[in-house]
Amino acid sequence: MGGLRLLAVALTCCWWPQGSQGKTLRGSFSSAAARDAQGQSIGHFEFHGDHALLCVRINNIAVAVGKEAKLYLFQARELLKLREGSNGYSCSEKLSKAQLTRLHEFFFLLVLVYFVIACIYAQSLWQAIKKGGPMHMVLKVLTTALLLQAGSAFANYIHFSSYSKDGIGVPFMGSLAEFFDIASQIQMLYLLLSLCMGWTIVRMKKSQSRPLQWDSTPASTGIAVFIVITQSILLLWEQFEDTSPHSHHSHHNLAGILLIVLRICLALSLGCGLYQIITVERSTLKREFYITFAKGCILWFLCHPGLACISFIFNDYQREKVVTIGVILCQSVSMVILYRLFLSHSLYWEVSSLSSVTLPLTISSGHKSRPHF
């Protein structure tokens, strides 16, 4: 109603027959003033008799209609009850409720998509894992992370399904969803770091003519474990510091900011390492393998910082929804990219067949001489 001006509010208290009296008010409505005062009162009147007449004249009717302006009339007792009832329900609480709207529908659709994909691809994926091969352990870790993501989505659906009805939800399911999400983040971080660090360290230590192989020293594993422990500490720190529920994607405190910085640093370092490998790689298939893997890594690590920056163009109550939904979708796309890459016959087998030993996170070196799919 900002800018809507009330030219005149004429109230005539009529006595019948002649001898009526009247009162006129002039002023304007202001949205800012209404927010500050929790409503804007324009006057109090007392009616006598049964023939009172209220006349309202608005300066700009088109603006009033466009902004759906409304003028409410309350009896004194009703207004008092309304004000007393609104004291325990502040504007900030209303905005906190608005932050969670539509999440119930989103998680329902997400669970439905997971269910459909499981029905279509579960059997073939299980057969691929049972056959073993150079990427056996990689597929197991990636599948575990995906199952944790699906469990988090299902727990969130149960929680928000109840939350949409009573405004409370199921706190245990909400906490369980956050636990599954954190476990999935740790699994994926260890997987991506183990692969990237292994390839990068080997390239720095070995000549470029040597075939691709996993570093036998514990250096790459130690780096991966150290970074995983660091992220785990930051995630737990963030959960203990943040008192507001459903905000594990919002990153309002110091731990959340450090997590964003860590993800940016990881994306830059791994991107630089993979870029060095790609620039010196002569095999087209291996180079395409590394490029696709780099896309999946960068999307996984940078989706959260990128969406956190993009969310500032939205209103306050929309930011958390944008970040939460966007991160889940981007990480799901990243998993799809990695699945297609590791299950691809022509790409990953070209890499593994040239290796003198096994690839990172493999179970046996006896599979490197023949394809399994």
pLDDT digits (tens, 9 = 90+) for 48-106: 666 667 777 777 788 878 777 777 766 666 656 666 655 555 555 555 555 566 788 89
Predicted confidence at residue 125, as pLDDT, reads 84
- DSSP string computed for 62-116: HHHHHTT-------HHHHHHHHHHHTTS-HHHHHHHHTTTTHHHHHHHHHHHHHH
pLDDT digits (tens, 9 = 90+) for 96-140: 555 566 788 899 999 999 999 989 888 888 887 887 666 677 788
- pLDDT at residue 216 is higher than 80: no
Predicted confidence at residue 115, as pLDDT, reads 93
Neighbours of 199 (CB within 10 A): 24
Predicted confidence at residue 81, as pLDDT, reads 66
Torsion angles phi and psi, residue 57, rounded to 5:
-120, 120
Task: Determine whether 13 is exposed, middle or buried from the number of CB atoms within 10 Å of its CB (0-12, 13-18, 19+).
Answer: middle
Question: Who wins on pLDDT, 321 or 354?
Answer: 321
Question: Who wins on pLDDT, 195 or 88?
Answer: 195
Decide: pTM greater than 0.75.
no
Q: Which helix (H) or strand (E) holds 330?
A: helix 316-342
**DSSP summary character for residue 212:** P
For the domain spanning 110-367, the CATH number is 1.20.1070
- pLDDT at residue 253 is higher than 80: no
Question: Which of 74-78, 184-188, 237-241, 283-287 has maximum average pLDDT?
Answer: 184-188
Buried b (16+ CB within 10 A) or exposed e, 253-289: bebbebbbebbeebbebbbebbeebbeebeeebbebb
Query: What confidence tier does 347 reach under pLDDT thresholds 50, 70, 90?
Result: very low
Predicted confidence at residue 155, as pLDDT, reads 92
Q: Where in the chain is the domain with CATH 1.20.1070?
A: 110-367
pLDDT digits (tens, 9 = 90+) for 304-335: 889 988 988 988 778 888 888 999 999 999 99
